Amino acid sequence: MRSFLPRYELRAPHDLGEALELMAAQPGEWKPFAGGTDLMVLLEQGKLTHRKFLSVLRIPELHGIEITDSHAVIGALTTYSQVQRESVLRAEFPLLCQAASETGSIANQNRGTLGGNIANASPAADSPPALLVYDAELELLSKRGTRRIPYARFHTGYKQMDLASDEIISRIRLPRRKTEWRQYYRKVGTRRAQAISKVCFAGVADVADGTIRDVRIALGSVAPTVLRCVKTEALLLKSSGSSRTKEAQQQLAAEISPVDDFRSNAKYRTRGAQNLLEEFLLQL
Ligand SMILES: Cc1cc2nc3c(=O)[nH]c(=O)nc-3n(C[C@H](O)[C@H](O)[C@H](O)COP(=O)(O)OP(=O)(O)OC[C@H]3O[C@@H](n4cnc5c(N)ncnc54)[C@H](O)[C@@H]3O)c2cc1C
């Protein structure tokens, strides 16, 4: 059942101040509309319950990628195609570029935005695990001002997030690392393109002389939110020897809480996550 379009209202301000003013005047009434690749699916299905939308696409402050000495600062409206074209992101944040290249189709990559992927808050989204292992920070904007929050604290439960009804995501800040970290990303879906993840794994590690000095691991599709697996990371830092992989796999299984749904089941997802962890460790 398709939606009845005259029921919806869309405003498209060019000016950031105007957009924030509207959101402040009627908190929760106006929902941002970016690329529309998630929202249009709901519209087509007749499941778009919200009525008033604020197209943010014309707001210049939400576009662009800025590279400073310390950070890559990505505007929330940056598309997956733009992510893949940026040379510093390709060189230093390859997992994000890989996630972007494996998201949907080329059409989705040209239209879908990183901010939309984050705010849609799907536990199966493909960029968030990469953002988590890169210690991303979000910049949130409202008429009240700007605040920054570590991305690891943003998702608070299934489809829940620390985003007030008058706030929008304006930028994603990725700290540039000085040392070379080894990096691994793998998405497991039903097929290689146009598939939502059954399991998605991102891992980075600082390794010297066979020792893991620091490590970050994050997964998608295995919990109510995308998940940084800090207990598995801690175990990898303190254990060594031949049993390490097995112990880490057991810890990972205890840390995730996958469900059975129409895409996969908990058993497959757990085994898949453990296999990807093993592949990551073998590559280290
Ligand atoms: C065919 C198809 C395939 C897909 N494949 C994948 C895939 O493989 N992997 C994957 O992860 N996703 C996939 N998606 C989902 C979707 O493309 C992404 O989540 C995309 O990044 C959403 O961005 P958008 O700009 O289109 O968001 P929109 O649809 O415009 O918005 C999504 C949500 O985010 C909110 N929002 C948008 N921008 C902001 C902002 N700046 N601040 C606050 N809230 C905001 C909106 O209010 C809405 O709730 C697919 C979608 C389709 C239709």
Contact indicator for 277, 233 with CB cutoff of 8 Å: no
pLDDT at 1 over 70: no
Atom of ligand 1 nearest to the CA of 170: 41
Distance 51 CA to ligand 1 centre (A): 18
- Computed over every residue of the chain, the mean pLDDT equals 95
Q: What is the DSSP letter of 102?
A: T
Task: List the structure tokens of 261.
Answer: 């749904």
Atom of ligand 1 nearest to the CA of 53: 47
Distance 81 CA to ligand 1 centre (A): 14
Q: What is the DSSP letter of 222?
A: S
pLDDT at 169 over 90: yes
Q: Whose CA is nearest to atom 44 of ligand 1?
A: 119
Q: Whose CA is nearest to atom 8 of ligand 1?
A: 103
pLDDT attached to residue 141: 98
Buried b (16+ CB within 10 A) or exposed e, 237-262: eeeeeeeebeebbebbbebbebeeee
Distances (CA, A) of 200 to 98, 105, 277: 12, 17, 11
Query: Which residue do the tokens 């600082």 mark?
Result: 206
What average pLDDT score do residues 235-241 get? 89
What average pLDDT score do residues 140-163 get? 98
pLDDT at 192 over 90: no
Condensed to tens digits (0 to 9), the pLDDT of residues 52-84 reads 999 999 999 999 999 999 999 999 999 999 999
Percent of the chain with pLDDT over 70: 100
Regarding beta strands 52-55 and 9-11, do their DSSP bridges make them parallel or antiparallel, or are they unpaired? parallel
Distance 112 CA to ligand 1 centre (A): 6
What average pLDDT score do residues 135-156 get? 98
d(CA 236, CA 205): 10
pLDDT at 191 over 90: no
User: Looking at the whole model, is its pTM more than 0.95?
Assistant: yes
Q: Whose CA is nearest to atom 32 of ligand 1?
A: 116
What average pLDDT score do residues 237-243 get? 86
Q: Whose CA is nearest to atom 11 of ligand 1?
A: 125
What average pLDDT score do residues 249-271 get? 95
Q: Pocket around ligand 1: residues whose beta carbon is below 6 Å from it?
A: 31-39, 41, 56, 76, 103-104, 108, 112-113, 115-117, 119-120, 125-126, 168-169, 194, 196
pLDDT attached to residue 24: 97
Q: Whose CA is nearest to atom 4 of ligand 1?
A: 104
Give the range among 187-191, 193-197, 225-229, 268-272 with minimum mean pLDDT: 193-197
Q: Whose CA is nearest to atom 48 of ligand 1?
A: 120
Q: For residue 112, give the 3-state DSSP assignment.
A: coil
pLDDT attached to residue 52: 96
d(CA 128, CA 136): 9
Distance 284 CA to ligand 1 centre (A): 33
Distance 132 CA to ligand 1 centre (A): 18
- Write the DSSP assignment of 138-192 as a string of letters: EEEEETTEEEEEEGGGTEEETTEES--TT-EEEEEEEEPPSSPPEEEEEEE-SSS
| Phi, psi dihedrals of residue 105, rounded to the nearest 5° | -110, 180
pLDDT at 242 over 90: no
Give the range among 44-58, 187-201, 269-283 with minimum mean pLDDT: 187-201
